[in-house]
Chain A
């Protein structure tokens, strides 16, 4: 930095041109150095925590076969290393919560600092009257922040998956892929959420031109997205269906969405007054009400990948729509 003032950069050293992407990226990183350092610190700390969790999880040894441990127990030999396992599960849960809370923070930052403050303070005009157009400036800011965020979020997701895939979890009912926190934190959904948060914040900042307003709106909207998306997840891919008299017919580890008794016309019928202990009595009661069987709708474990991809695609589509809206807004405002 000490060379800056002494650098002899005369005019006409090269033809006037627009700055390259690399130069612009450097400028953007310099302007948002504080945010960059914060993000790096978060990724490093959480990443280190996940490495530690992997080590903790790997050292958990279940006493005896899995059935012994999860079922009613196999007698006095059951001495579980409670503390290690509890730590592992507890902190993994918290990391998944954090991975979904961070996009809300990112949306707030993007709205307030990335675009909102520039609009409010007039520094946007400063940037836009250098040799770079408004759309290019915003696009580079978005791309640089998006790259940094995606890289960090992706590494955290990989570490999260790695920290969960320890021997004792394998095949255990504790490994519940249908839990929405775990689901969102262990696939491309999380990085996509960061991109959506960034785009949402950037758009809000441009639209509202006030950093505090943009902060509130984008954080609120992102909170809604994070809360609302899980409701959509199971409907993003066709479910499988089993019809018959067997209750809990879905295979192990399936994500069961509904189990309902249907009559001959396929209408759901309440079974609430058929609560008997014996299955034959239940069946008798049900048949008396005209019930033909029980329909189970579920996602087998093999649907995890397509569900991930479908949700990611949905988030990225939303992101693209917001990015398009932001560029259109800029095009309408500035030449």
Chain B
């Protein structure tokens, strides 16, 4: 690996299904070691991007490098959990983990896998001899995640990982997952609709919309370049700042802006939460794209950050 500090790098990445562009000229960089939230409305291209990174499909255009090489070359170091949590229904839980051990020689960590399967107590523990076909959705999620974590990946790609878990189990499993990732410096990319869950867990954000990158960068940087302003005036008074979203607030306006300088007097100004920034961008698909320097493809830096 030549580029050890980059987990994923896309240059002009495109994927077409028939006449529809699932991904269109996406360029971004995800530094290694980050927990990245992959966000976007339905059909934004999130699953497509994860499939391409997992080496399950070929891009129609552009280039995608994963862990400094091609997705196919990096296969051994990538783990992927698909949205449908597909597992072999005829195997037992123990057999499924054995499959992971057999198919990942020299990498497999049985203890890590069992920690996920067993959960934190006897109540949540799965019977290792239960057939996968008889498990509930949440139990299958646990087995699928155990298979992924047992591989000890350098890059963990999760498509809607915990959407079918109850809030308690979700919280507990996310905790285990992130602890494992932190311990081993695993880069995690996680798509989800549950913004709150991502905001707490992720330190990097990739927002897709209509197959394009709309926002990418470290969570702190993204919140830092935005301001939540409240004031008596109209949105027009906020020029020259870029207004992402504005709405009536009492007698005046409340707006999320990217300030281009000091905000004028009379506006109450605070730093938004990541959730505020995300929601504003989701509500306004025409907001200009924003790539933080860290999320910019390296030798394209400076030539234009707009995806």
Contact = CB atoms under 8 A, between A and B. Distances in A.
Interface of A: 1, 4-5, 7-20, 23-24, 26-27, 30-31, 33-34, 121-123, 125-134, 332-335
B102 A5 contact: no
A34 B133 CA distance: 15
A11 B107 contact: yes
Interface in B235-267: none
Interface stretch (B86-94, B277-285, B296-304): B86-94
A125 B104 contact: no
Most B CB atoms within 10 A — which of A11, A15, A34, A128?
A: A11
A290 to B, nearest CB: 66
A17 B99 contact: no
A31 B98 CA distance: 12
Interface in B94-141: 94-95, 97-111, 114, 128
Q: Is the interface of A mostly helix, strand, loop or mixed?
A: loop
A133 B75 contact: yes
Contact of B72 (A26, A126, A133): A133
Contacts, number: 130
Contact of A23 (B72, B102, B111): B102
Given A4-B98, A11-B109, A335-B55, A34 B90 contact: yes
Nearest to A132: B103
B271 interface: no
B17 to A, nearest CB: 12
Interface string B219-230: 000000000000
Contacts of A5: 94, 97, 110, 114, 128
B105 A129 contact: no
B91 A129 contact: no
Nearest to B152: A11
A130 B104 contact: yes
A16 B106 contact: yes
A126 B57 contact: no
Contacts of A8: 110-111
Interface stretch (B26-34, B35-43, B76-84, B206-214): B76-84
Given A8-B111, A125-B56, A126-B86, A335 B102 contact: no
B255 to A, nearest CB: 43
15 contacts: A5-B94, A7-B101, A8-B111, A9-B109, A16-B76, A16-B77, A23-B102, A30-B95, A122-B86, A125-B54, A125-B82, A126-B144, A129-B54, A131-B75, A132-B75
B104 A334 contact: no
Contacts of B86: 121-123, 125-126
B16 interface: no
Given A34-B90, A122-B82, A131 B56 contact: no
B68 to A, nearest CB: 15
B91 A31 contact: yes
Nearest to A127: B103
Contacts of A15: 106
A37 to B, nearest CB: 12
Contacts of B97: 4-5
A128 B105 contact: no
A10 B107 contact: no
A307 B108 CA distance: 52
Contacts of B87: 123, 126
Given A4-B98, A16-B107, A20-B105, 12 more contacts: A4-B97, A4-B128, A5-B97, A5-B114, A8-B111, A14-B106, A17-B105, A19-B104, A23-B102, A34-B90, A125-B54, A130-B104
